[in-house]
Chains A and B, each alone.
Chain A
C-alpha cells in the first residue's frame, strides 16, 4: 500500500463494519441462505419421513419439526432481550435482526409442516394462528423499515423534531404580533390556531396523519371566507397573518408526516410483541396438552 493512503488500525479485524449494509443483505444474505436450507431440510424431511397415517405433528418428523419450531420461537422471542443488552459483546445487532427476520419467516414453513395441515378449533391451531399473525406483522415491519426511512428523511430535510416545533412556536409568536389589529372574529380563530395546535395525539391521528378540525386549517378557511371584508387599513396585517398561517400549515404538515412515518414504523410492534407472548402461552398449552393427555 502507498504510504499516502491513511494508515488504518493494526489488525483492524474487529467487527466494525466499514460500509453501510442493510440488515436484509447482511453478510451477503448469510441468514437468508440459512433459512432456505432450513426450510428445504424441513420439506425434504416432511416428504421422505412420513409417520403412520397422515402427518399429524407426531412421529419422528412431527416431533423434530415441532421441537425446531418451538426452539426457534423461543430464540426469536429472546431478540427483545438481546436487542437491549448492550454491554455484553454479542456481535452486531444487525446480524441478529437479519437472522431474526429470515429464520422467523422460515419458522412459518417449519411450523406449517409440523401441523401436517390439520386445523381445528383447538389450542394447537390457536398457537399456529397466533404464530402466523406474529410473523405477518413482522413482515410488515420489514416492509416499513425498508420503505419509510427514506421518505422520512426526504420529508424532514434534516430538521429535527424540536427544530420543527421551534419553528411553529416562532410562527405562533409572530402571529400574535401581526394579527393584533385584525377584527375580533378573525383574531379569535387565529388565537385558537395558536393556543391549540394539534401535533401528534391519538394513535389514529399519528398513523393517518389526518387532523380533522385542525385549528390552523380552520383559521385559513376562515380568512379565505372573509377575505372580502378586510378593512383596507388592515389589509397588510391580514396578508401577513394569512402568510404566517400558511407557513405554519406547511410546517405542521411536515411534522405530522414525520410523526406518521414514525408511527407506521412502530405500530406493528404493538401487534408483534403482545401476540408473541400470547403465542408463548398458547405454545406452552399446546405442548403440555399434547403430552398431558
Chain B
C-alpha cells in the first residue's frame, strides 16, 4: 500500500522547517508535525529581542529559508513569511507519540490518536523539545510557567523561580529588576551554574534584590501560593503571583530509542549516531539538527535541506565540502575531501571513533599544512593555539633549545603540540619537518570541545602527553623504555584552585610534575602560613621527601586550576638509581630550593607578596598589568591610552583592584593560560593570538557570557563610540571629548549600535607593545609574563 506521505517531518525547528520548505520546493509530498501551537518553537522561546547569530560564519547557507545574524523577531517574521508562501502541509499542536515500521512504510502514531504512514521520517525534534516539568501538584496552574520570553512583561509581582541552573538564575536576575523574586534552591549553593551567574546571583542575594530559599524543596503549588519543605522541617508557604520553573531539558532519548535507534553510550549528552546522509541505524529514519548533535541554527537549516535531497537520492556534497577542499588546495595537497576525511579517520587513532560528520565538522576549523623537509612548523615560545597531527611524513622536536640537532622524531599518525595545548603556555620546543609531511592543525577551541565531548580523545592525548612531559621537564635524553615504569605508575590529577597537592608533615613521598597551572609552596612558620615559592607548570615538586626520606617539609597548593602528574615514589627512586646524572640534577635543584626556602622563610614580606600575587590570579596569568603605586601619579593616562587605542572604551580600570606592598594589580585582563572567557562563547569569538593575547573578534554577539565568566571582571559590554575630532583641536580648543574622556554617561549616550564584549587584547596589532605601558609617564605600569613574575616576586626579598 502507498504511504500517505513520502516524508514525514517531526518537529518544526530550524531543521524541520528547512526540510519541509525544501520538500515543497522539490514537490515531495510531505507532512510537518509540530507539538506546539506555533511553528519553530525553539526560536520562539528565545528571550525577546535576543540577538541570534549565524555561525559558523564560514559555512555557506543552503536552505530555502533566509537566515542571517539578526534579532529573534526578524527571524520569526522572515520564516513565517516564507512558510506562508511555501504552503506547507503543517499539523500544529500535534505530537508524534510513536514511530514504527521500516523504510518505505513508517507508521506514526499521533497524540490525536490517529496514525499516519510515510516512506521516510525525518526526526528534527531537537533536544529543547521537552522541557522538564515540575512533578508536584499544581504544576499546570496558569501562573506556573516553564520558560520566560520577556522578563519585562512582569512588574511588581511576587515571583518564585525554581531551578538553579543558568537559565533559572538568568531569569531570576532579569525579573528581579521589577519584581520581588525568590529563588528556590534544593541545596545551599549553585553547583550547576556558571561562575559568572553564581557571582551575580550571590551579589543579588546579598543586596537583598533576590530572596534565596536554600535547602528548600517545592511540595505543592496552590492558588497564589508555593508550598515547600525546608531543611528544618518547618516548611514555608510562599505567597506568589507567578512560579517560573527552569529545570532543564533533556534529549527525548526514550522516544528516540522507542523508534529503534541505539545510542552509543549512556552519557546524557550522547547523540544518536547517523551516517553521512543523516540516516540512523534504522533505514529510512533520518535524524537532523540538535538531536544529531548540531545545535547551531545554520547546521540545522542546511541539514534540513540536505536530508530531503538525500531522501530524493541526489547525493549532493555536504555544504562544507568546498570549504575543506579550499583548505586542501591552499596547502597544495592533491586529495579530495572524502579522501582526507578517510585519511583522518584511518591514520589518526586519536579521531578513530569520530563519525565522518564530526570529522568534517572539525576539519572546517582546522588547517592543513604541507611543509617541505627542514621547514619549521612552530617556534619555541609561541603560544599554543592548536594540536598538530601527522597525516604523513615526519617531524622532529628540538628538545634541547641550545642544540638544534638534538631531536625527538615523530612519524605518521602521531601528534604533537599537546603539551602547550594542555598547559596553555608557550611552546616549549621548536618543531621542524624532517621530511615532506602532511600535517593537520586542529584549532585550540575545537580541540578543547572535542576533548570535553570525546573521552577517548582526552585519554589518547593524556597518554602521549605524560611521557613527553616527563621527558621534557625531567630527563630529555632518556630512552622511553627506561621511563616505562615511571610512566605506567604515574597518574594525572586535576586540582582546583587552593586545593592542596601536598600537606606539610604528611608522609607520602610521591613526586608531582606540574603540567598545567601553577602552585605555591608554603610552610607554617610561627602559626602563620608563609609562602615560600611560586612554581609554574614545568616544575616538579615533592622530591624533597623522596630524597631525604622525611615527612613533607611544606604544603603545596594549587594557585590556579592545576594538573599534575603524580609519579610513584618507588618507580621514581628506581629511576634515580639507574640514572646518576638525573639524580645529580634533582639533588642540585633540591639544594638550591633548600637555600631559597631558608631565605624566604626568614622574609615573610616576600612570601606575602607571592601569596598576594597568586590570589590576584597571577597563577593562571600569562601576562598581567602591574602598577607600582609608589610611582603611579594617578594620571590615568594608561586608561586614556587604552580607550584611545580601543574605540574609546578603556579595557582596564586603573583605580580598582587591590594593592600590596605598593604593588597594584588593576582590573585588567591576565590573559589566562586557560581563559575563563573562552569556556562559553556561543559564536566562538574569543581567540588566543600566537603571542598569547586573548582577544574578542567582531563575531561577538554581546551575550555577556564572557563578562560573567571572567573571575577578574575585566570584560565589559560596550557600544561603539562616537566620532572624535583631532587631538590638537581638543588641546587648543577643547573640541569633542578629550583622550579617553568619553567614559562619562554623556559619552556613552553618544554611542551607537549594539553592545559588544570588549577586553584587553594587549594592543595586538599596534606595534610598540601595550598602549597602557607605553603611555605610563612615570614607568609605574608594566606588563609581566610568567618569566617576569618570578622577577617581580623576588622584588620582595
Residues of chain A whose beta carbon lies under 8 Å from any beta carbon of chain B: 1, 3-10, 12, 14-23, 26, 80-81, 83-87, 89-94, 96-97, 144-145, 148-150, 152-153, 156, 158, 160-161, 262, 265
**15 additional contacts, CB 8 Å, given A16-B770, A87-B771, A97-B778?**
A3-B476, A5-B790, A6-B787, A7-B380, A8-B785, A9-B381, A16-B783, A22-B778, A84-B644, A91-B768, A149-B632, A149-B634, A152-B634, A160-B655, A161-B655
Residues of B close to A96: CB separation below 8 A = 777
Q: Which of B426, B731, B768 is close to A9, meaning CB atoms less than 8 Å apart?
A: B426
Asked whether, in the complex, the Cβ of B632 is within 8 Å of the Cβ of A4, the reply is no
Residue from the set B379, B645, B731, B782 with the largest chain A CB neighbour count within 10 Å = B782
Asked whether, in the complex, the Cβ of A149 is within 8 Å of the Cβ of B630, the reply is yes
Q: Measured between C-beta atoms, what is the minimum distance from B649 to chain A in Å?
A: 14
Residue contacts A-B, CB under 8 angstroms, 6 given: A4-B538, A6-B538, A6-B785, A7-B425, A153-B664, A158-B658
From 729 to 746 in chain B, residues with beta carbon under 8 angstroms from any chain A beta carbon are: 731, 738-739
Closest A residue by C-beta to B642: A86
Q: Does B597 interact with chain A (Cβ within 8 Å)?
A: no
Q: Does B786 interact with chain A (Cβ within 8 Å)?
A: yes
Assembled-state Cα–Cα distance A150/B731 (Å): 30
Q: Which of B401, B427, B657, B774 is close to A92, meaning CB atoms less than 8 Å apart?
A: B774
Residues of chain B whose beta carbon lies under 8 Å from any beta carbon of chain A: 379-382, 401, 425-428, 472-473, 476, 536-540, 626, 628-634, 637, 640-641, 644-645, 655-660, 662, 664, 691-692, 727-728, 731, 738-739, 766-771, 773-780, 782-788, 790-792, 795
Closest B residue by C-beta to A89: B768
Assembled-state Cα–Cα distance A268/B659 (Å): 27
Residues of B close to A158: CB separation below 8 A = 657-660, 664
Asked whether, in the complex, the Cβ of A153 is within 8 Å of the Cβ of B630, the reply is yes
Assembled-state Cα–Cα distance A96/B795 (Å): 26
What are the 10 A-B residue pairs with the smallest beta carbon separation, nearest first? A89-B768, A6-B786, A10-B381, A94-B779, A8-B787, A86-B641, A20-B628, A158-B659, A153-B629, A7-B426
Q: Measured between C-beta atoms, what is the minimum distance from A86 to chain B in Å?
A: 4
Asked whether, in the complex, the Cβ of A17 is within 8 Å of the Cβ of B782, the reply is yes
Closest A residue by C-beta to B662: A153
Asked whether, in the complex, the Cβ of A20 is within 8 Å of the Cβ of B780, the reply is yes
Asked whether, in the complex, the Cβ of B473 is within 8 Å of the Cβ of A4, the reply is yes
Residues of A close to B662: CB separation below 8 A = 150, 153
Asked whether, in the complex, the Cβ of A87 is within 8 Å of the Cβ of B644, the reply is yes
Closest A residue by C-beta to B655: A160
Q: Which of A18, A81, A87, A93 is close to B637, meaning CB atoms less than 8 Å apart?
A: A93
Residues of B close to A83: CB separation below 8 A = 637, 775, 777
Assembled-state Cα–Cα distance A22/B628 (Å): 9
Asked whether, in the complex, the Cβ of B779 is within 8 Å of the Cβ of A15, the reply is no
Given known pairs A89-B766, A150-B630, A262-B634, the reply for A23 and B779 (CB within 8 Å) is: yes
Residues of A close to B664: CB separation below 8 A = 153, 158
Given known pairs A18-B791, A84-B731, A145-B633, the reply for A153 and B659 (CB within 8 Å) is: yes
Assembled-state Cα–Cα distance A102/B792 (Å): 28
Residues of B close to A19: CB separation below 8 A = 782, 788, 791-792, 795
Residues of A close to B777: CB separation below 8 A = 23, 83, 93-94, 96-97
Tell me what chain B mostly uses at the interface: helix, strand, loop, or mixed: loop
Closest A residue by C-beta to B535: A4
Assembled-state Cα–Cα distance A161/B779 (Å): 23
Q: Measured between C-beta atoms, what is the minimum distance from A81 to chain B in Å?
A: 6
Assembled-state Cα–Cα distance A4/B472 (Å): 9
Asked whether, in the complex, the Cβ of B731 is within 8 Å of the Cβ of A81, the reply is yes
Asked whether, in the complex, the Cβ of A21 is within 8 Å of the Cβ of B779, the reply is yes
Assembled-state Cα–Cα distance A96/B536 (Å): 36
Asked whether, in the complex, the Cβ of B767 is within 8 Å of the Cβ of A26, the reply is no
Residue from the set B645, B739, B774, B779 with the largest chain A CB neighbour count within 10 Å = B779
Q: Measured between C-beta atoms, what is the minimum distance from B777 to chain A in Å?
A: 4
Residues of B close to A85: CB separation below 8 A = 727
Asked whether, in the complex, the Cβ of A7 is within 8 Å of the Cβ of B381, the reply is yes
Residues of B close to A4: CB separation below 8 A = 473, 538-540
Assembled-state Cα–Cα distance A16/B776 (Å): 12
Residues of B close to A23: CB separation below 8 A = 631, 777-779
Closest A residue by C-beta to B634: A262
Given known pairs A23-B777, A87-B766, the reply for A160 and B656 (CB within 8 Å) is: yes
Asked whether, in the complex, the Cβ of A93 is within 8 Å of the Cβ of B536, the reply is no
Q: Measured between C-beta atoms, what is the minimum distance from B782 to chain A in Å?
A: 5
Asked whether, in the complex, the Cβ of A20 is within 8 Å of the Cβ of B770, the reply is no
Closest A residue by C-beta to B539: A4
Assembled-state Cα–Cα distance A187/B634 (Å): 39
Residues of B close to A84: CB separation below 8 A = 640, 644, 727, 731, 738-739
Asked whether, in the complex, the Cβ of B631 is within 8 Å of the Cβ of A17, the reply is no
Closest A residue by C-beta to B383: A9
Assembled-state Cα–Cα distance A20/B633 (Å): 14
Residues of A close to B783: CB separation below 8 A = 16
Given known pairs A19-B791, A93-B637, A149-B629, the reply for A86 and B775 (CB within 8 Å) is: yes
Residues of A close to B768: CB separation below 8 A = 14-15, 89-91
Q: Measured between C-beta atoms, what is the minimum distance from A211 to chain B in Å?
A: 21
Given known pairs A3-B472, A9-B691, A153-B629, the reply for A15 and B540 (CB within 8 Å) is: no
Assembled-state Cα–Cα distance A17/B767 (Å): 15
Asked whether, in the complex, the Cβ of B776 is within 8 Å of the Cβ of A94, the reply is yes
Q: Measured between C-beta atoms, what is the minimum distance from B788 to chain A in Å?
A: 5
Assembled-state Cα–Cα distance A80/B730 (Å): 12
Assembled-state Cα–Cα distance A6/B618 (Å): 13
Given known pairs A84-B739, A92-B774, the reply for A7 and B428 (CB within 8 Å) is: yes
Asked whether, in the complex, the Cβ of A91 is within 8 Å of the Cβ of B426, the reply is no
Residues of A close to B728: CB separation below 8 A = 81
Q: Measured between C-beta atoms, what is the minimum distance from A135 to chain B in Å?
A: 18
Residues of B close to A16: CB separation below 8 A = 769-770, 773, 782-783
Assembled-state Cα–Cα distance A149/B776 (Å): 14
Assembled-state Cα–Cα distance A94/B627 (Å): 14
Q: Measured between C-beta atoms, what is the minimum distance from B701 to chain A in Å?
A: 28
Closest A residue by C-beta to B627: A20
Residues of B close to A87: CB separation below 8 A = 644-645, 766, 771
Assembled-state Cα–Cα distance A81/B657 (Å): 30
Assembled-state Cα–Cα distance A14/B770 (Å): 10
Asked whether, in the complex, the Cβ of A86 is within 8 Å of the Cβ of B640, the reply is yes
Closest B residue by C-beta to A25: B779
Asked whether, in the complex, the Cβ of A149 is within 8 Å of the Cβ of B425, the reply is no
Residues of A close to B656: CB separation below 8 A = 160
Assembled-state Cα–Cα distance A291/B370 (Å): 72
Residue from the set A3, A89, A150 with the largest chain B CB neighbour count within 10 Å = A3
Asked whether, in the complex, the Cβ of B539 is within 8 Å of the Cβ of A10, the reply is no
Asked whether, in the complex, the Cβ of B427 is within 8 Å of the Cβ of A7, the reply is yes
Closest A residue by C-beta to B782: A17
Residue from the set A1, A7, A158 with the largest chain B CB neighbour count within 10 Å = A7
Assembled-state Cα–Cα distance A19/B658 (Å): 19
Assembled-state Cα–Cα distance A9/B762 (Å): 14
Assembled-state Cα–Cα distance A1/B790 (Å): 15
Residue from the set A6, A83, A149 with the largest chain B CB neighbour count within 10 Å = A6
Assembled-state Cα–Cα distance A94/B401 (Å): 35
Closest A residue by C-beta to B785: A8
Assembled-state Cα–Cα distance A5/B662 (Å): 26
Q: Measured between C-beta atoms, what is the minimum distance from B796 to chain A in Å?
A: 13
Asked whether, in the complex, the Cβ of B739 is within 8 Å of the Cβ of A86, the reply is yes
Assembled-state Cα–Cα distance A256/B779 (Å): 27
Q: Measured between C-beta atoms, what is the minimum distance from A151 to chain B in Å?
A: 10
Residues of B close to A262: CB separation below 8 A = 634
Q: Measured between C-beta atoms, what is the minimum distance from A89 to chain B in Å?
A: 3
Q: Measured between C-beta atoms, what is the minimum distance from B647 to chain A in Å?
A: 12
Closest B residue by C-beta to A9: B381
Assembled-state Cα–Cα distance A145/B724 (Å): 31
Closest B residue by C-beta to A258: B634
Asked whether, in the complex, the Cβ of B633 is within 8 Å of the Cβ of A265, the reply is yes
Assembled-state Cα–Cα distance A169/B250 (Å): 48
Closest B residue by C-beta to A21: B779
Asked whether, in the complex, the Cβ of A86 is within 8 Å of the Cβ of B629, the reply is no
Q: Which of B401, B426, B645 is close to A8, meaning CB atoms less than 8 Å apart?
A: B426
Residues of B close to A148: CB separation below 8 A = 633
